[in-house]
Amino acid sequence: MKFKLNFLLTLISLIMLNCSSDDSIDTSPTAQPSSVQVVTIATLNAADGLVLDQSGNIYASNYGSDIVYKIDTSNSVTTFINNQDGAAGMVYDDQGFMYLARYESADIVKISADGNTVEIYASAVPAPIALDLDSEGNLYTNNNVNSAITKIDTNGNKTSMSISLFNNSSLTIDDNDNIYVSDYDSGKIIKIDANTNQESTFANLPISGGVGYIVYSNGNFYATTITDQLIFKINLNGAYEVIAGIQSQAGVQDGSGNVATFNRPIGIVATPNGETLYVAQNGGSGAIRMITGF
């Protein structure tokens, strides 16, 4: 069945333990009492991708309506661009251009800072979702329901790499250009070594559903789990902890991490210093949530 970020999930009853032993932080999917705080900053149904620009504005895509919204630093919401067929993941380059994956169009577009200029950056890219750039400016996307990821180099040349995850949901890249890909059907996250291109299992999150998006920032990874309603933090060794949410309890409760609730969290983005997360959920009326103190 074709992957739809905003549609019903295919649930798989699978609970997997973190394969890290000495490095494990928490082997149960429960947020512990801590200084973590969750605050709703906007009511908006646009959970299919999040990105921050250099000024701290948030951009959120809605796959179903083909719109990318802008949430400025005052939390005001405006339409940044529309008519983007299957708008999904986004990333900004150092020059201030946005790259947007368009799932239904099977392409990636390059968008000017004001949203007025849109050009095709790569076409015939099967089912692209998440986007990220490596240290050399190469663009990567995961190819959902294709068991592959695609690299687009700075000259526009495309290279496809096979991976083990068929229904892959997201992709992110660490400081050493290693690539991490998540699974829409389970808590599995794989790592592709930058030097050898060898694939290995990086983490198995103990969830019953699948992972939405993963993002890397300042030495850690963060992941949303759509039907488990949890937000995970994962270190470079693959050890994880739940920083916010109550497993399988949907809601919009703000507050400390162990009492806050989420309703189908999907998109996630971190500030460059890794001190603030923004999460987009599409359950209910939709919302953009800010997480700090983790």
- Answer whether residue 9 shows pLDDT above 50: no
Confidence (pLDDT) at 158: 97
**Size of the chain, expressed as the number of residues it contains:** 294
pLDDT band at 239 (very low <50, low <70, confident <90, very high): very high
pLDDT of residue 40: 98
Q: Which residues of 11-50 are buried (b: 16+ CB within 10 A; e: fewer)?
A: eeeeeeebebeeebbbeebebeeeebbbebbbebbbbbbb
- 13 in a domain, yes or no? no
Residue 100 inside a domain? The answer is yes
Read off the CATH number of the domain in which 207 is found. 2.120.10.30
With a pLDDT cut of 70, the percent of the chain lying above it is 90
pLDDT of residue 29: 83
Check if the beta carbon of residue 290 is closer than 8 Å to that of residue 280: no
Domain-embedded: residue 22: no
Domain membership flag for residue 162: yes
pLDDT tens per residue across span 138-150 = 999 999 999 999 9
Our count of domains for the chain comes to 1
Which pTM value belongs to this model?
A: 0.89
Q: Write out pLDDT tens, residues 114-134.
A: 999 999 999 999 999 999 999
How much of the chain, in percent, has pLDDT values that exceed 90? 88
In a domain, residue 7? The reply is no
Task: Judge whether 2 lies within some domain.
Answer: no
Domain presence at residue 132: yes
Q: Which secondary structure element, helix H or strand E, spans residue 28, and what is its range?
A: none
CA 235 from chain center: how many Å?
A: 16
* Cβ contact 240:204 at 8 Å: no
Q: What is the extent of the structural domain holding 185? A: 37-292
Residue 91 falls within a domain, yes or no? yes
Average pLDDT over residues 243-259: 96
